[in-house]
Structure 1
């Protein structure tokens, strides 16, 4: 449903008049600072109308309301939520099981159990070992 510019202008004007009345009474009761703050709030609805933000805010509110109604009353959406929950549980289980070690396949294609928690330092290539020895000899570690 779309509203023409005159309807949005009338809404903005009505909101500004209402806020202006509230501002007047707050200024009388609380002083100049409260009156200036109220004046700032009073001109915002007209500024929102002139910039198109008033209609945008209405469209966003309308879209969120429709989404919320669809969320609450649609069994298909609830099925999607359940599937998201199952996915989260599966990710968690894979993280727990992945930390315990898993099955890997060796060069021959046979499964080999590897415990990833107790793996030692990586094997050093012979060339790297020679380089390390030279560096240690010169005091570089």
Structure 2
């Protein structure tokens, strides 16, 4: 750089930490148009060398800078980059931010330690339920289905059960609806 070419206040302003220039419409329009033109030229070359698909894909990428500028998304993208850059600069040079990062790390470590301590102490809820004896499950709906035929109900269980609905005819089984109705009656749902 040539000494004295730029005033010292401009150099000091541009070199301060976290500096990102503001969005300038007039300087970005020619830049976006230039990027689009270069992309279109590259797309034409890609079409000639690699075929139609590569050329059309290049045109699609080439139109993005101008479309971002025209929709205002380029300014939004610029603001996001500017904010992130400013945050990173403040992160690097600010002891307060480093203290906040340290506190965040301590909170994460404490959370993990509390989970390990809870698991070791046995505060975790039981994941398996105790199975019921087969005699208790005779009159209940179970996920495993009806009890096996080898399990015989006791006399008390037989007396406490309501009488089954009479069958329509001997030798015929009741229909599915009769069975469902019987199950609902046993559980008091009518």
Deviations 1:12-62 (A, max 9, x none): 211111111211221222122111111111212111111111111111111
Q: TM-score, normalised by structure 2?
A: 0.50
Partner of 2:112: 92
Name the CA distance, whole Å, in 2 between partners of 1:48 and 1:81. 35
Name the CA distance, whole Å, in 1 between partners of 2:113 and 2:77. 42
Where structure 2 has 5 or more consecutive residues not aligned to the other structure, the ranges are 1-21, 127-135, 143-190
Extract structure 1 runs of 4+ deviating beyond 6 A: none
1:116 CA displacement: 5.0
Q: Name the structure where helix makes up a greater proportion of residues.
A: 1
Q: Secondary structure at the match of 1:29?
A: helix
Decide which of 76, 84, 101 is 1:64's aligned counterpart: 84
Distance 1:68 1:116, change over 3 A: closer
Query: Does the CA-based 8 Å contact 2:23-2:75 persist in structure 1?
Result: no
Decide which of 39, 52, 73 is 2:72's aligned counterpart: 52
Name the CA distance, whole Å, in 1 between partners of 2:53 and 2:43. 11
Q: Which has the larger radius of gyration?
A: 2
Query: Does the CA-based 8 Å contact 1:19-1:41 persist in structure 2?
Result: yes
1:137 CA displacement: 8.8
1:124-135 matched pairs, under 5 angstroms: none
1:1-141 matched pairs, under 5 angstroms: 1-4=22-25, 6-101=26-121, 116=123, 136=136, 139-140=139-140
Where structure 1 has 5 or more consecutive residues not aligned to the other structure, the ranges are 102-114, 120-135
Distance 1:10 1:138, change over 3 A: same
Query: For this pair of structures, how many residues does the alignment match?
Result: 114
Name the CA distance, whole Å, in 2 between partners of 1:137 and 1:93. 42
Q: Name the structure where strand makes up a greater proportion of residues.
A: 1
Q: TM-score, normalised by structure 1?
A: 0.65
